[in-house]
Amino acid sequence: MTALRRAGRSPRLPSPLLTAAAALVAAACALPLAYLLVRAASGGSAAWSVLARPQTAETVARTVALVTAVTLGATTVGGTLAWLVERTDLPLRRMWAVAAALPLAIPSYVAALALLATLGPGGALSRAVPGAGAVDITGFPGAGLALILSTYPYVYLLTAAALRRADPALEEAARGLGRSVRAVLFRVTLPLARPALGAGALLAALYALSDFGVVSLMRFDALTRVIFQQYRTLFDRTPAAVLGLVLVVLTVIVLVLEARARGRAASRAASTASRPAPPQALGRWRPVAVAFCAVVVGLALVLPLGVLGFWTLRGAAGAGLSAEVVTPAVNSLAVSLGAGAVATVAALPVALLVVRDPRALTRGLERLAYAANALPGVVIALALVFFAARYAGAVYGTLAVLMFAYLVRFLPQALSGARTALLAVSPQLEEVARALGRGPRSAFAAVTLPLAAPGLLAGAAIVFLSTMKELPATLLLRPIGFDTLATEVWTATSVSAYSRAAPAALLLVAVAAPIVLHLTARPDRHSRRGAEGLGAG
């Protein structure tokens, strides 16, 4: 009887081959963090002395201050914009709705470039106005402002989508119960939007924590910049590894804080609105609201585009339109297309496993793959530099390592795309195909794959976009002489060569804009994935 009771493997369970492929991908993703731990631990007492240095505490304090300021700023700006657009009689709401999301197409270091070119030392303002020579936005204000302008769209998109989904009857019921407009805003609308605000705040915080481009251009010594400098200037790599781990710890703290704050709130946003909410009259506050929107969109969108346009034209007038930008553009396109394809192919087995066989083991694999998402690019790049130099000298400094870094960093984006796409395909369809005589592989190819293709492509597009914008890993891992649009913008801006930086930056924005527009056009379906997916700086 026991022999009879031996449960056969259900035909729905994935093959061992699939499991092995998924495990391999997950292991690859965990490699950098694991190696960083080993590397720091082998530093021994030297590692401890790095931690004990007063500069380390100062750097951490600076970083925490920046992250706090950016999170608060982005949440306030993004949340206010979402409320104005979704719940009030703000003039030109549709236009503001699109314009408020569009800065997603502008990498944060390009936003920093725009601020530097106008308000930086030797920028447009100090040259145009004689008395303003002392204007200098570098440091904390510049870094904070550039990061807020780059991250508020995440909060805006998530909150706007949540407000759109929230049933306006709730707010009407509160009015009917005798509450004032203000009371409804604070006691009903805000709590409804809280999960979305929280998710947006988390994205903003992680972005600010892991950002390298802005803080390096603004010469603000946050952890990422210090790590980069330590790595570049010191022969001993232990300090960089130890500081990298500190960055990881801060990331984990942010994640834990967010999970705590979210609590049970996430389930509240489940209601769906059957009709749009009637707009709230702004009354005499209308001009103030319009001015607010104009300032935000002006700084986040119009200023960068204006600065880029100005410097591109000026550069083109000086020397013929730079052939210098062609090679980086080709390089960027090539690695981004490659990363999009590689990440999507790698994500497929993991997503398939998670969707088809949601056991604890497979969920663990998935978490492992996602863990890398929170790892700052600097940390991933650093770990891979150490690892490749030590164990894989042959590939050190080649495109292979760079592609691997992109894979680790952006796999979660491809994964969430693949997962959503596969979840939308009912397993029954594949079963029907099986019953109609197709083998498992043929059933997958004839039914599931074509149906999941649009979602897989969307995931690939997000990885493509993220790779185009990626800066720190590219800087650290690129082969010698291999320039991309991102490195070109960063290098040129570092030396205030704006006319060289502008065409490359403009190209980046031009490539990103249609993808961002597409992903935000149907905000309810895409915003969460889109907003999370677009985060890379």
Partner 1 sequence: MSVCLRGVAKAFGTTEAVREVDLDIGRGELFTVLGPSGCGKTTLLRLVAGFERPSAGEVRVGDRLVAADGAWIPPERRRIGMVFQDYALFPHLSVERNVAFGLSRRERRREGRGGAAPKARAALELVGLQHKAERLPHELSGGERQRVALARALAPEPELVLLDEPFSSLDATLRADLRREVELILREAEATAVLVTHDQEEALSLADRLAVMRAGRVVQTGAPEEVYARPADRWAAGFLGEVNVVSGVRRGDRAVETWLGSFDARGVAAGVGGASAAAGSVHVAVRPEHLALRVDRLGNAEIVDREFRGHDVLYRLRHEVGGTVLVQLSSLELFEVGERVHVRPARAAVASVVD
Binding residues vs partner 1 (CB under 8 A): 1, 3-12, 426, 428-429, 431-440, 443, 446-447, 450-451
Q: Residue 20: what residue type?
A: A
**Cα 151 vs. chain centroid, distance in angstroms?**
9
Cβ at position 239, least distance to partner 1 in Å: 51
Question: Do residues 386 and 405 touch, judged by C-beta distance below 8 A?
Answer: no
Closest to partner 1 by CB, 324 vs 357, is 357
**Cα 463 vs. chain centroid, distance in angstroms?**
10
Cβ at position 13, least distance to partner 1 in Å: 10
Cβ at position 119, least distance to partner 1 in Å: 53
Closest to partner 1 by CB, 1 vs 323, is 1
By C-alpha distance, which of 398, 420, 372, 534 is closest to 479? 398
Cβ at position 19, least distance to partner 1 in Å: 18
How crowded is the C-beta side of 532, counted as CA atoms within 13 Å? 20
Cβ at position 359, least distance to partner 1 in Å: 10
Residue 88, beta-bridge partner list: 280
Cβ at position 432, least distance to partner 1 in Å: 5
Instruction: Specify the DSSP class assigned to residue 263.
Output: T
**The total number of residues written for the chain in this structure:** 537
Tokens of residue 442, six digits: 């043929």
Closest to partner 1 by CB, 361 vs 436, is 436
Closest to partner 1 by CB, 119 vs 458, is 458
Cβ at position 6, least distance to partner 1 in Å: 7
Tokens of residue 497, six digits: 């060569």
Tokens of residue 141, six digits: 């204000």
Cβ at position 433, least distance to partner 1 in Å: 7
Cβ at position 422, least distance to partner 1 in Å: 15
Closest to partner 1 by CB, 5 vs 94, is 5
Tokens of residue 38, six digits: 């080993």
**Cα 419 vs. chain centroid, distance in angstroms?**
18
Closest to partner 1 by CB, 139 vs 440, is 440
Contacts 24+ apart (CB under 8 A), 402-405: 402/335, 402/473, 402/474, 402/477, 402/478, 402/479, 403/335, 403/338, 403/339, 403/342, 404/28, 405/377, 405/380, 405/381, 405/473, 405/477
Closest to partner 1 by CB, 436 vs 510, is 436
**Separation between Cα atoms, residue 402 and residue 397, nearest integer Å:** 8
Closest to partner 1 by CB, 286 vs 434, is 434
Closest to partner 1 by CB, 9 vs 264, is 9
Tokens 């991933």 locate to 380
Closest to partner 1 by CB, 6 vs 275, is 6
Strand, helix or coil for residue 261: helix
**Separation between Cα atoms, residue 113 and residue 109, nearest integer Å:** 6
Tokens 């790698």 locate to 346
Question: Do residues 372 and 411 touch, judged by C-beta distance below 8 A?
Answer: yes
Closest to partner 1 by CB, 8 vs 131, is 8
Cβ at position 145, least distance to partner 1 in Å: 48
Closest to partner 1 by CB, 281 vs 432, is 432
**Cα 192 vs. chain centroid, distance in angstroms?**
24
Cβ at position 456, least distance to partner 1 in Å: 14
By C-alpha distance, which of 498, 466, 496 is closest to 484? 466
Tokens 């004990």 locate to 52
Cβ at position 12, least distance to partner 1 in Å: 6
Strand, helix or coil for residue 280: strand
In Å, what is the CA distance from 469 to each residue of 137, 399, 503, 508?
23, 17, 14, 7
